Amino acid sequence: MSDFPEEVFRAYDIRGLVDEQITQGFARALGRSFGARISAMGGKRCLVGYDARHSGPTLSQALAEGLAEQGLEVAQIGAVASPILYWAAHRDQGHGIMVTGSHNPAPYNGFKMVLGGASIHGATVSALREQMIDPPPALDGGRIIEEDWTGPYQADLLQRLNPLGRPIKVVVDAGNGMGGLALPLLTGMGAEVIGIHCEADGDFPNHHPDPTVEANLVELQACVRREQAAAGIAFDGDVDRIGVVDEFGTVIWGDLLTALFAKDILKQHPGATIIGEVKCSSALYDGIEALGGQAIMWKAGHSLIKGKMKETGALLAGEMSGHLFFADRYDGFDDAIYAAGRLLELLDRDARPLSAQIADFPRLASSPEIRRPVADEATKFALVEAATAYFRARGPVIDIDGVRVPFDGGWGLVRASNTQSILVLRFEAETRERLQQIQEEVEAVLDQLERRL
């Protein structure tokens, strides 16, 4: 059982240290377990791709062998971005596994899984471990083949997106992940693209491909200003998250980026439903409502967001982390390459610079995500429960994912991390002074509650 450590089975995927936690034996066992799920649904095929990490080819081969041992035809689609695998699975039988460490450091790798057209999460992920421990019997008839889905994907997106009516210069920083695959699309639309670190290199020698960390955007910001570009675009390692800076190099976080796209979509689809997550700014929700849309606040996590989109028929969803989900003119999964194309369309249609377009929405004072360590998992959940009860006794709260507490002139959020023994805190207010007051009040309550546990 120690071959399959429980801690690598996370809320939305599997992730761990290569050779120590994630081995070829692990990948093969996962393939058999996941393959049994596909076979039980009557499926016959599964797609497998991998990102820039050095362990990707060997892990994907072991994974494919495990899948084939369940009688499946396994299509190896090579080094791709996660959205290419999602796109391909959507057009195939709906089953696929992406070998990716997401935004973890270079020594890590893992697996994102699509089953029956949906990203699996929660108990479905943890249940795979039980079947890995007690594997199903092997089945005959399996085989491994190679297929190219990258070319058809790029051709499809070029058809879906409108060519630019004027030259637009953008800078793209792929951070040596798979984001270089976006360049043919953006240049095909007619953009002048200046690429930074667009060669895939699993050592990530320049900076880590995580656009939610502002330090990783410094080179992009400088290049945008130097080249007088209209915008800068950064991708995470497997290209399901986007980071954007305006022509001055100012970061546009995921919630305001969602608001920008929501404004555009609501012009074409009045009254449409748009989803954000609990960490998003009030400017997003207020902006959607002011534009005549239906705003829904939901739990953080790409699998949960995609499920809510299907349930509600939402045309767009976005997270602070840069996951953007377009069901308007697209398939509803998080594809940062497609999002970059939609950004070019906005820059083309609106002659104003990106900074002016974002200025349509109020910029409130906000904190970054504050990560507060706690003793263990039990303490984490107990503290969130206690905080929810405390603030609920004093007035209305939003408790769909932790507790989001409205204050005069702002709000505070306390939620449990899905992956670590930490609390995630975030605060927003109309002024920096009010922000500090709210943060100090919430943190004082948490200190008091934690001492009582």
H or E element that contains 371: strand 370-373
Buried b (16+ CB within 10 A) or exposed e, 301-334: bbbbbbbbbeebebbbbbbbbbbbbbbbebbbbb
Half-sphere exposure of 431 (CA within 13 A, CB side): 4
- At 367 the three-state DSSP class reads coil
Please say whether the beta carbons of 103 and 179 come within 8 A: no
Look up residue 165 and give its two tokens.
């009516």
8 A C-beta contact, residue 318 and residue 324: yes
The DSSP secondary-structure symbol of 330 reads S
Which stretch of DSSP H or E encloses residue 344?
A: helix 336-349
Specify whether the CB–CB gap between 342 and 330 falls below 8 A. no
Catalytic one among 39, 82, 102, 119?
102
Torsion of CA 433, 262, 352, 334, to 10 degrees: 100
Active-site hit among 15, 32, 95, 415: 15
Q: How far apart (Å, rounded) are the C-alpha atoms in residues 377 and 128?
A: 21
DSSP 197: S
- The C-alpha atoms of residue 445 and residue 424 are separated, in whole angstroms, by 15
Active site residue 15: yes
217 DSSP 8-state letter: G
Residues listed for the chain: 453
Three-state SS letters, 118-183: EECCCHHHHHHHHHHHCCCCCECCCEEEECCCHHHHHHHHHHHCCCCCCCCEEEEECCCCHHHHHH
* Of 149, 187, 150, the residue nearest 170 (C-alpha): 187
How many C-beta neighbours within 10 Å does residue 274 have? 30
Tell me, yes or no, if 371 is annotated catalytic.
no
Upper half-sphere CA count for residue 63 (Cβ side, 13 Å): 30
Catalytic residue among 323, 342, 404, 415: 323
Active site residues: 15, 102, 323
